[in-house]
Every structure is written in structure tokens, then in C-alpha cells.
């Protein structure tokens, strides 16, 4: 049985991105990316580990960490780092914002992006070359309210 077309297009895209940055496509990297791309909960590395272990029982948390960093390095995932030292990963790399619940820590996607003019504005900070931005809404989610 051949895999669904969508899945193979997705793994071709991952393979190309990895190879462009000098990394090999491995079954483990594929599984980590598939798990991330299939969820919108912005999981922690531990959550990715638990999800991927169902398919690849031999995978270690350390490998999941390394594979996540590799995916971030080649632009196939985004790392959201927080001031308490925790990090979450996002398989969605198109422009979007996040809303984070102050009570349960849930992170939700918020569609939209800032106008391009703001990204190139020279008055963002004198001499600063803007390559991206991060906008996070904070508050209380529907289940905590």
C-alpha cells in the first residue's frame, strides 16, 4: 500500500530542507516532523518524545531533542522559548501569531501577520536589520476562564 500523496509530498519537502542544510533524511527525523506537522498544540520535546515513541519505540528523548533542533535549524519547525526556560515546538512555519494561557500554559495559533512595511521599517531600531518577529498574546484560555 502506498502512502497518501500528501504525506509523501511532505516528506519530500523535509528531505530537501534537510539536505540543503547538510543533514540526512532519517526515519526518526521524518517521524518527529510528522508528529509536529500533525498537531497544533505546540508540544514540548517530552510530548513529542511520547508521541513519536508510539511509532519508534527505540527512539530516545536525547535524539528527539537533537532532531527537533535540526528541524528548527533548517526552517521546518519553529521553537518557542519562554522566560521560565521551557520550550515548545511548532510544525507550522507560515506566518502566524500565538496566544498563550497564563494558567495552563496552552499555546494556540492566531492567524495573521504584520504588514510587510513594518518588517522593513528602518525605525524599528536604528541600524537594526529585521529578519522576523514574534507576537504573543497572553491571557486566559476558554477552558481556564
Q: In whole angstroms, how close is the CB of 134 to Zn ion at the nearest point?
A: 11
Residue of 41, 66, 36 lying closest to 52 (CA atoms):
36
Among 20, 62, 104, 114, binds Zn ion (CB under 5 A): 104
Q: In whole angstroms, how close is the CB of 52 to Zn ion at the nearest point?
A: 19
Residue of 145, 27, 134 lying closest to 90 (CA atoms):
134
Residue 144 interacts with Zn ion (CB under 5 A): yes or no: yes
Of the pair 56, 108, the CB lying nearest Zn ion is at 108
Q: Please state whether beta strands 87-90 and 78-81 pair in parallel, antiparallel, or not at all (unpaired).
A: antiparallel
Of the pair 11, 39, the CB lying nearest Zn ion is at 39
Crossing angle of the two packed helices 27-37 and 45-53, in degrees rounded to 10: 110
Residue of 38, 39, 41 lying closest to 106 (CA atoms):
41
Residue 101 interacts with Zn ion (CB under 5 A): yes or no: yes
- Residues within the interface to Zn ion (CB under 5 A): 90, 92, 101, 103-104, 106, 109, 141, 144
Amino acid at each position: 500500500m502506498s502512502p497518501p500523496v500528501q504525506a509523501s509530498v511532505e516528506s519530500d519537502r523535509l528531505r530537501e530542507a534537510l539536505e540543503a542544510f547538510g543533514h540526512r533524511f532519517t526515519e526518526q527525523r521524518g517521524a518527529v516532523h510528522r508528529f509536529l506537522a500533525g498537531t497544533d498544540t505546540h508540544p514540548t520535546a517530552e510530548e513529542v518524545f511520547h508521541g513519536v515513541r508510539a511509532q519508534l519505540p527505540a527512539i530516545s528523548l536525547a535524539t528527539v531533542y537533537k532532531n527537533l533542533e535540526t528541524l528548527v535549524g533548517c526552517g521546518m519547525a519553529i521553537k518557542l522559548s519562554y522566560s521560565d526556560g521551557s520550550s515548545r515546538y511548532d510544525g507550522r512555519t507560515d506566518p502566524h501569531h500565538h496566544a498563550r494561557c497564563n494558567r495552563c500554559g496552552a499555546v494556540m495559533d492566531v492567524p495573521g501577520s504584520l504588514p510587510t512595511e513594518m518588517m522593513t521599517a528602518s525605525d524599528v531600531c536604528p541600524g537594526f536589520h529585521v529578519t522576523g518577529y514574534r507576537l504573543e498574546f497572553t491571557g486566559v484560555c476558554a477552558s481556564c476562564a
